[in-house]
Amino acid sequence: MEKLQSLRGMVDLLPHETIVWQKIEATAQRHFKRASVSEIRTPLLEVTDLFARGIGEATDVVGKEMYSFSDKGGRNCTLRPEGTASVVRAAIQHGLTKQGSQRFWYSGPMFRYERPQAGRQRQFHQLGLEFLGFSDPRSDVEAISIAWDLLSELGIGELKLELNSLGDKEDRVSYRNHLVTWLEQRRELLDEESRERLEKNPLRILDSKNPKTKELLLDAPKLTKTLGHKSLERFEKVQAGLNDLEIPFQLNPSLVRGLDYYSHTAFEITSSQLGAQATVCGGGRYDGLVEQLGGPATSAIGWALGMERLVLLLSQAKQNNLATKPDIYIVNRGIEAESLALVLARKLRSKGQIVEIDLSGSAFGKQLKRANRSGAELALLIGEDEAAQQQAIIKELNTKNLEGPSDKRVTIESLLARFA
Ligand code: ATP
Ligand code: MG
């Protein structure tokens, strides 16, 4: 029979990996809570039109990478390729945008039909933040600082924050003209994809991953040079705010980000430890999106972290010696002993102990070997005699106790009292 396998680009997370994930999630939740950011959860499946209107038809994500299909009712559905459009949709749908500014975070799987490689999957996970109803440059600084502090606390090395401003709509129109004229003169040096983009969406060329195109673009006109006075002033305030918080950054005038909805601040946080897929976190301001999706004009800024890339970094840093170890391993054999062991395990767990119970029914020697391998500090031994007397033998494991056997017979009652 043909072996069943997961789909290409769809990845299982095994217990030694989920440990790292849980650590990241717990750290992130702490940071969000401290910054008064609330969680929002939206469905994985949305109407296709949400992303077509929100992200833009001319982007790779919408044009090439979406998992779209029609459901049994003939609706055009898409597995979400990113989180922002859904969060904005939910905020509009539930009238949250009318209740003043909102700070949200979300996490969960996203789907893009891309070519899988290290740090790039078809189902991947993002952890994201969205501030809706904030226009002050300080909100850009606050949003960025939450990402920076979170990554720093996780111990991600060689972090680099790159920053750019895409200005407002008028700035981009005038820059677009500049850029197109410059690129038209160098059309023959462009790769095929960039030539296509020259007609549809020239700014996106700046986002090219083709090394030759990247090199050519080093001399291209810079968006920051054509920013209007207001946009420039705003950009300077963001930079001053980051300086005040002592968050180091580098200006990168070709940073445009992959999605259509950005304006003003755009940023990426990279780690050179990641190689080709270096971006861990990307984000920026999207002042036009809420209106574009049918809501009231609302300024907004957000970012998203790629969980898989974070996990890769943390695993490289060998910080994941966190495998779940029980505190207590219960060795038990015989009918009475086995039922007492179950009761005891439950009581100890209710007192906060991590308890692993041996369910094999095999010989004591074999169970003890497993107890030693489990990494637990204590084993509790319960045989028929102990069960009859409501007792257990406490055995210290993995200790270098040279003063002879540590085994101690205690009543179940006094044992439980120890963990009060
Ligand atoms: P890239 O340039 O690497 O394709 P992107 O600009 O498409 O990234 P965003 O849409 O901004 O990425 O998503 C934010 C983050 O999500 C990225 O910085 C990355 O860490 C992660 N990410 C994006 N696509 C994938 C993927 N296919 N697999 C794993 N992580 C991803
Ligand atoms: Mg991409």
Angle between the N-to-C axes of helices 229-244 and 137-154, in degrees from 0 to 180, rounded to the nearest 10: 40
Residue ranges of domains in the chain, CATH in brackets:
15-168+228-316 (3.30.930.10), 328-418 (3.40.50.800)
pLDDT at position 320 is: 45
User: Where are any strands of DSSP class E within 44-201?
Assistant: 45-47, 67-70, 76-79, 102-111, 123-132, 159-165
Residue ranges of the chain whose pLDDT lies below 50: 319-320
Sign of dihedral through CA atoms 48, 50, 53, 56? negative
> Minimum-distance ligand to the CA of 83?
1
Pocket mutation for ligand 1, best pick of 106, 126, 314 (most atoms within 8 Å of C-beta): 126
Distant-in-sequence, close-in-space partners of 147: CB < 8 Å, separation ≥ 6: 129, 269, 281, 283, 303, 305
Question: How do residues 372-416 score in pLDDT, each as one tens digit?
Answer: 999 999 999 999 999 999 999 999 997 665 555 678 999 999 999
Count of Cβ atoms closer than 10 Å to residue 67 Cβ? 16
> Minimum-distance ligand to the CA of 286?
1
pLDDT at position 226 is: 86
pLDDT at position 127 is: 97
Q: How many CA atoms lie within 13 A of 275 on its CB side?
A: 8
pLDDT at position 401 is: 56
> Minimum-distance ligand to the CA of 112?
1
Q: What pTM was estimated for this model as a whole?
A: 0.86
Q: Which residues line ligand 1 (CB under 6 A)?
A: 82, 112, 114, 119-121, 124, 126, 257-258, 277, 279-282, 304, 306, 308-309
Q: Which residues of 142-156 are buried (b: 16+ CB within 10 A; e: fewer)?
A: bbbbbbbbbbeebeb
Tell me which residue has its CA closest to atom 22 in ligand 1.
306
- Residue 10 has which token pair? 């769809």
User: Where are any strands of DSSP class E within 62-183?
Assistant: 67-70, 76-79, 102-111, 123-132, 159-165
Query: What is the CA(85)–ligand 2 centre distance, in A?
Result: 16
Pocket mutation for ligand 1, best pick of 86, 160, 277 (most atoms within 8 Å of C-beta): 277
What phi, psi does 284 have (nearest 5°)?
165, -175
Tell me which residue has its CA closest to atom 7 in ligand 1.
258
- Residue 219 has which token pair? 């001399």
pLDDT at position 321 is: 52
